[in-house]
Chains A and B, each alone.
Chain A
Amino acid sequence: DTGVSQDPRHKITKRGQNVTFRCDPISEHNRLYWYRQTLGQGPEFLTYFQNEAQLEKSRLLSDRFSAERPKGSFSTLEIQRTEQGDSAMYLCASSFTYRVGKVSYNEQFFGPGTRLTVL
């Protein structure tokens, strides 16, 4: 257990429905990331937050996807009008970025993921 939790762990939905996932990062971590992972592939970056600010979004994140981190703590990822191609594992990670001299450290700790199946 890394200390990052995600809810739900599994979600089955019908095409066209909206779904929302939640991530609770390690409490002192200022950065939070969302990734998507399909079977047999490595995680692909979707978006990231520094505190409550969403600073980067991948081109993978279509306009049907929205992520929030309202108080700089937990985050939600919503997918509207789900499609079968959205079926994947959605992973959340958190990190605390710090510097020692010129070197920055940013180890990301991953949650267990939410497996989405769109029928």
Chain B
Amino acid sequence: GESVGLHLPTLSVQEGDNSIINCAYSNSASDYFIWYKQESGKGPQFIIDIRSNMDKRQGQRVTVLLNKTVKHLSLQIAATQPGDSAVYFCAELMNTGFQKLVFGTGTRLLSVQ
């Protein structure tokens, strides 16, 4: 039968609108967070990162917000384009003797016309 894991949360956004993708992380001691974009058949691609001493960081068309109180990250993409359609993962860097990246559940973003 089908695995629950195949049913990725999907966000459909009109082309030109802003997208907001949310993520909950698990370890309050994590001090570094990264958003990755993964297109079909490719490896994850770094988008933007943020350290725990910041609440917000902006890049080109992307903004990451960090709320340490509720262990929540969000990725905002301005003026969503067809090329933004992909699966997005947040990842936290855990210091468990060495720095280990732990990925959250992905969100599929679909830019529709």
Contacts and interface: CB of A to CB of B under 8 A. Distances in A.
Per DSSP, chain A at the interface is loop
Interface in A50-96: 55-56, 91, 93
Given A55-B98, A56-B98, A42 B49 contact: no
Contact of B43 (A42, A44, A111): A111
Nearest to A115: B41
A106 interface: yes
B7 A48 contact: no
Interface residues of A, number: 27
B3 A42 contact: no
Interface stretch (B14-22, B59-67, B71-79, B101-109): B101-109
B24 to A, nearest CB: 13
B45 interface: yes
Contacts of B34: 107
A40 B41 contact: no
A36 to B, nearest CB: 11
A43 B99 contact: no
Contacts of A110: 36, 43-45
B105 A42 contact: yes
A112 B43 contact: yes
A42 B89 contact: yes
Contact of A112 (B32, B42, B106): B42
Interface in A1-40: 2, 4, 33, 38-40
A40 B101 contact: no
B86 interface: no
Contacts of B99: 97, 104, 106
B1 interface: no
